[in-house]
Amino acid sequence: MTKHFSGPAALASLLFVFSTLCLAHPDDEFCTADSGLDPALCAALAEADKAVDVQNTGDSDTMLNKAQRAQVRSTITFDRSWQETATLYVELGFEHILPKGLDHILFVLALFFASTRLKPLLIQISVFTLAHTITLGIAAAGWVKAPGSVVEPLIAVSIAFVAIENLVAKEMTPWRPLIVFGFGLFHGLGFARVLIDLGLPDEQFLTALIGFNVGVELGQLSIVLAAWLLFHRLFSRPWYRARVVLPASFLIAVTGSWWAFQRIFLA
């Protein structure tokens, strides 16, 4: 029994540790090597920040305010080929999921644990991808705007809801794809906020947008593949749901609920 349970227990322990250490999508306040920003934007912000320091008699604690950062973004020139931009934003999109996007990791895992059959998983991943691709595109283009104070709590609620449904339903419910699609729209708005913060090059907007979305998809598929490799041999075991699906879904539900509480009441 101990041997069978060691895998789920290890997974639960890792999820618990990361969930207590991570809050998804913190706003970048400093342009550092691991900030995930477009390197060209980082360089421009660094130069502008130096200028502000000089204007403020060398005060090294003075940082650019939001208006100054926006001005830098609007005037920056991205001197690189579209291939370089595509490669860069694929990497940034992937990194936003792995390892930085713990909330999206948990959501995808909650989808994975909904069923042991391939078809329900493919349906859920497909509608989720379609939904977040739609809102990512229109929000990144500036056609739709949603405040983070609304989007981020809803993302957390989506994680908790899907995980809780795993606890009460043994297979994917008929309405699950519609729910996943709706939640995917909000995840896309969250992706768009991050993408805009990265520093989109106006002259290569579509290239960066597609590259980022491809990176996100590769990150999500990596999660599904890793979970499948870890658990697919256990699908036929009679204890798989009781010892793997239920404990993992419970922990994901608790994490999502805690994040929702934080983002609504403690933000």
Q: What is the pLDDT of residues 185-226, one digit of tens each?
A: 999 999 998 888 777 777 788 998 999 999 999 999 999 999
DSSP symbol at 233: G
Is the four-CA dihedral 210, 18, 127, 118 of positive or negative sign?
positive
Beta carbons within 8 Å of 182's beta carbon, 6+ residues apart: 131
CB contact at 8 A, 215 and 91:
yes
For residue 11, the model assigns a pLDDT of: 56
Between CA 77 and CA 64 the distance in angstroms is 19
For residue 77, the model assigns a pLDDT of: 62
Is the four-CA dihedral 105, 216, 32, 87 of positive or negative sign?
positive
Between CA 232 and CA 242 the distance in angstroms is 15
For residue 79, the model assigns a pLDDT of: 72
For residue 169, the model assigns a pLDDT of: 92
Between CA 220 and CA 215 the distance in angstroms is 9
For residue 167, the model assigns a pLDDT of: 97
Amino acid identity of residue 254, one-letter, is V
4: three-class secondary structure by DSSP: helix
Q: Where are the domains of the chain?
A: 15-22+81-266, 39-77
Between CA 188 and CA 139 the distance in angstroms is 8
pLDDT in tens, the chain (267 residues): 444 445 555 555 555 545 444 444 444 333 555 555 666 666 655 665 555 554 554 444 445 566 655 655 555 566 778 898 899 999 999 999 999 999 999 999 999 999 998 899 999 999 999 999 999 999 998 899 889 999 999 999 999 999 999 999 988 888 999 999 999 999 999 999 888 877 777 778 899 899 999 999 999 999 999 999 999 999 999 999 999 999 999 999 999 999 999 999 997
For residue 5, the model assigns a pLDDT of: 47
